[in-house]
């Protein structure tokens, strides 16, 4: 067996007819032939399938039980097969959280870059954030009202998963007695059992004091200890209850989660940091971390849209189909799905009308805007008095009113039937998040800048513009030293994306909107950036949809992949690819049952000399694809029909 070659004997997958061939490692090989001739069956269903199967068999039996079994392709023998990677034309999935930046891992490097060398600005006043001295922190705490009971806390775990038994034991050894775990103060000696796969917040209680002029010395010691333990950050908690006590621990597993990353960690918490603070707005911030710039992490995501950048909610313009109808005549159309509106519901809505002061029996179009808002969006925390009339008199009761839209959201969320969910979604619309305006991140993350740009502004650039931005980016010497490795990776991966003709895409372009060819070239650029050696790459027509200029750049990327020490097999019809290939394997002579054989193998000159090769006849110029003398006229008939149907619906 020659380790420098891949030898295949008796391949019979699909329409292949006992195909036997020897391919040399470290070459750019083009599989060509008429459609259905068997080239994809040999490349993907034989070579790649066997390579993948052998890799899975090399894993432990424990790992294989989660991956399942792969069928052995119909082939007698394959020797010299190296680890195989298939890059096919398929979409990158339907997960809207995946973007070009996350698929290529560029976003991961950007998160590290912004966390390490980013300049923080205040989200409220846009002024640079400065570090607070210990004296400033001490003065800020002493400025609280005299007599205020305060707990000085040192945050040691912020939104991280784990059980943290060792942490509790270590804190006890250091002399600490209490900690606030997920919002509750507990005794460290009776540490609660934490769920390992849930994110937790743990703050060590350093001291409990009552604010007064005489407590300055004791407070200074507590601040010093808290800043040291909390890595430059402390929390001043002023519980609203009368006494700052300790709740008895209960024998249960804590699974409660609380969002992290905001300026104040709770309603009565004051976050102070020696790292970053805006003295104008009296707000402190935790040091930026890579998680802060991830829209998939609770630390960095916009809490309004959960990091999606869009919200899917009921559209007031869609739920009212006929404004001439009154509210009780189902002016809000989806309420019809709830069935007959009984007396109880009617008395609730009439109570709202009485509270606001409007006639609910008027047509919807004639109601004032205040009345519409009250019915749709509710009255907030306002107390409404409802009157239930019956034969025994009038029964008055009070409560709040959340609004019809809140009821619709609740019905949609609880619906188990696909039909019911689809019905409600007819009245819903996807729109940009009103809080982050599509940026997906919270205000603190968006206020950090590198080179005058936020991470969202960089992600919104085209790949070509982002490549130019990072090529021209100049940082101070210290920051340049810190970011040198990260910048090298970002520039390299952006360059690879430009090389495969994707410079027009933006880094925040979502995966479901990418075509199959774009997804394939993104994966190709990722593989080039990975720098693997000794791998068998199999690509499926990567030139589809590319301009001739971009096709040349794509081929240069394939050559670069080969020059790294890999074997590259391309299933392709493109003439330019054939001419740059080291070897061509022509399948045929026809499609389906008329194919499944290797008609010719060698360089392009040998293919052109083979009379049985259909590809050779086109390369010689004996046959050609004629350009139509007359093309069909462009019509907008389908577009107009679709638009008409949408308007009708």
- pLDDT value of position 246: 43
> Do β-strands 28-33 and 583-588 pair in parallel, antiparallel, or remain unpaired?
parallel
On whether the pTM is more than 0.85, the answer is: no
Which one of 24-38, 77-91, 119-133, 518-532 scores highest in mean pLDDT? 24-38
Which one of 166-175, 235-244, 544-553 scores highest in mean pLDDT? 166-175
DSSP string, 354-422: HHHT--TTSBGGGS-HHHHHHHHH--TT--EEEEEEETTEEEEEEE----HHHHHHHHHHH---HHHHH
Residue 413 in this model has a pLDDT that exceeds 70: yes
Helix, coil or strand: residue 614:
helix
Span 81-117, pLDDT tens digits: 988 888 877 665 667 888 999 988 899 999 999 999 9
Average pLDDT rounded to a whole number, residues 157-168: 88
Q: CA nearest 289: which of 125, 159, 164, 161?
A: 159
DSSP state of 589: S
Higher-confidence position of 10 and 284: 10
CA 288 from centroid of its chain's CA atoms: 19
Residue 428 in this model has a pLDDT that exceeds 60: yes
- CA angle in degrees (0–180, nearest 5) for 366-371-377: 130
Residue whose structure tokens are 């936020």: 454
Domains, in order of start, for the chain: 5-91+515-620 (3.40.50.300), 130-287 (3.30.190.20), 314-430 (1.10.8.280)
Least confident of 119-133, 237-251, 411-425: 237-251
- pLDDT value of position 486: 94
- 248 — pLDDT class (breaks 50, 70, 90): very low
> Do β-strands 583-588 and 567-571 pair in parallel, antiparallel, or remain unpaired?
unpaired
Residue 258 in this model has a pLDDT that exceeds 50: no
Q: CA nearest 221: which of 309, 154, 292, 162?
A: 154
DSSP string, 37-96: SSHHHHIIIIIIHHHHHHHHHTS-HHHHHHH---PPPSEEEEESPPPEEEE-S----S-T
- pLDDT value of position 241: 45
DSSP state of 248: P
Higher-confidence position of 121 and 644: 121
Please list the residues that pair with 377 across neighbouring strands: none
- pLDDT value of position 282: 64
Span 283-330, pLDDT tens digits: 777 788 899 999 988 889 998 888 888 888 888 888 888 889 999 988
Residue 261 in this model has a pLDDT that exceeds 70: no
Which one of 151-155, 387-391, 521-525, 626-630 scores highest in mean pLDDT? 151-155
Residue 637 in this model has a pLDDT that exceeds 70: no
Span 600-623, pLDDT tens digits: 999 999 999 998 899 998 888 888
Instruction: Report residue 49 as tokens.
Output: 């399938």
- pLDDT value of position 247: 44
- 126 — pLDDT class (breaks 50, 70, 90): confident
- pLDDT value of position 345: 87
């Amino acid at each position: 067996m020659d380790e420098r070659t891949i030898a295949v004997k008796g391949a019979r997958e699909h329409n292949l007819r006992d195909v036997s061939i020897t391919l040399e490692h470290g070459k750019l090989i083009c599989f060509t032939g008429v459609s259905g001739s068997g080239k994809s069956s040999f490349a993907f269903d034989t070579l790649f399938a066997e390579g993948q199967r052998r890799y899975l068999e090399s894993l432990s039996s424990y790992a294989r039980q989660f991956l399942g079994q792969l069928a052995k392709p119909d082939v007698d023998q394959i020797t010299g097969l190296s680890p195989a990677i298939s890059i096919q034309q398929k979409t990158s999935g339907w997960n809207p959280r995946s973007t070009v930046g996350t698929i290529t891992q560029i976003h991961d490097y950007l998160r590290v870059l912004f966390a390490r060398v980013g300049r923080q600005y205040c989200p409220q006043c846009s002024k640079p954030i400065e570090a607070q001295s210990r004296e400033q922190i001490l003065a800020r705490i002493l400025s609280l009202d005299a007599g205020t009971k305060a707990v000085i806390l040192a945050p040691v775990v912020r939104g991280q998963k784990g059980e943290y038994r060792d942490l509790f034991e270590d804190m006890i050894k250091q002399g600490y007695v209490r900690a606030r775990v997920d919002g509750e103060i507990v005794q460290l000696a009776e540490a609660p059992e934490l769920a390992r796969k849930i994110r937790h917040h743990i703050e060590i209680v350093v001291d409990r004091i009552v604010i007064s002029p005489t407590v300055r010395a004791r407070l200074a010691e507590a601040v010093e200890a808290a800043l040291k333990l909390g890595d430059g950050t402390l929390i001043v908690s002023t519980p609203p209850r009368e006494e700052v006590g300790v709740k008895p621990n209960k024998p249960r597993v804590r699974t409660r989660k609380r969002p992290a990353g905001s300026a104040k960690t709770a309603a009565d918490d004051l976050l102070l940091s020696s790292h970053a603070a805006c003295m104008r707005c009296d707000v402190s911030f935790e040091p930026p971390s890579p998680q802060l710039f991830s829209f998939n992490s609770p630390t960095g995501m916009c809490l309004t849209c959960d990091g999606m950048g869009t919200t899917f909610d009921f559209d007031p313009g869609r739920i009212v189909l006929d404004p001439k109808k009154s509210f009780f005549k189902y002016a809000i159309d989806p309420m019809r799905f709830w069935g007959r509106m009984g007396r109880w519901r009617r008395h609730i809505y009439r109570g709202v009308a009485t509270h606001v002061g409007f006639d609910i029996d008027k047509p919807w179009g004639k109601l004032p805007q205040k009345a519409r808002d009250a019915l749709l969006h509710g009255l907030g925390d306002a107390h409404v008095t409802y009157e239930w009339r019956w034969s025994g008199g009038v029964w008055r009761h009070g409560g709040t009113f959340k609004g019809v839209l809140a009821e619709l959201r609740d019905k949609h969320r609880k619906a188990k039937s696909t039909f019911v969910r689809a019905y409600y979604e007819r009245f819903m619309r996807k729109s940009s998040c009103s809080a982050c305006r599509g940026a997906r991140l919270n205000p603190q993350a968006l206020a950090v800048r590198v080179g005058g740009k936020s991470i969202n502004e960089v992600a919104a650039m085209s790949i070509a513009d982002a490549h130019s931005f990072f090529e021209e980016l100049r940082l101070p010497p210290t920051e340049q030293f810190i970011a040198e490795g990260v910048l090298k990776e970002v520039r390299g991966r952006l360059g690879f994306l430009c090389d495969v003709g994707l410079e027009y895409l933006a880094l925040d372009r979502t995966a479901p909107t990418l075509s199959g060819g774009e997804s394939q070239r993104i994966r190709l650029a990722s593989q080039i950036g990975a720098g693997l050696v000794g791998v068998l790459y199999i690509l499926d027509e990567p030139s589809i949809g590319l301009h001739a200029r971009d096709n040349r750049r794509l081929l240069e990327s394939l050559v670069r992949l080969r020059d790294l020490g890999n074997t590259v097999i391309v299933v392709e019809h493109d003439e330019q690819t054939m001419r740059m290939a080291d070897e061509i394997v022509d399948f045929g002579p026809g499609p389906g049952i008329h194919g499944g054989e290797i008609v010719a193998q060698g360089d392009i000159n040998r293919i052109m000399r083979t009379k049985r090769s259909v590809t050779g006849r086109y390369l010689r110029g004996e046959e050609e694809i004629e350009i139509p003398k007359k093309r069909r006229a462009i019509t907008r008939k389908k577009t107009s029909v679709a638009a008409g149907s949408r308007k009708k619906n």
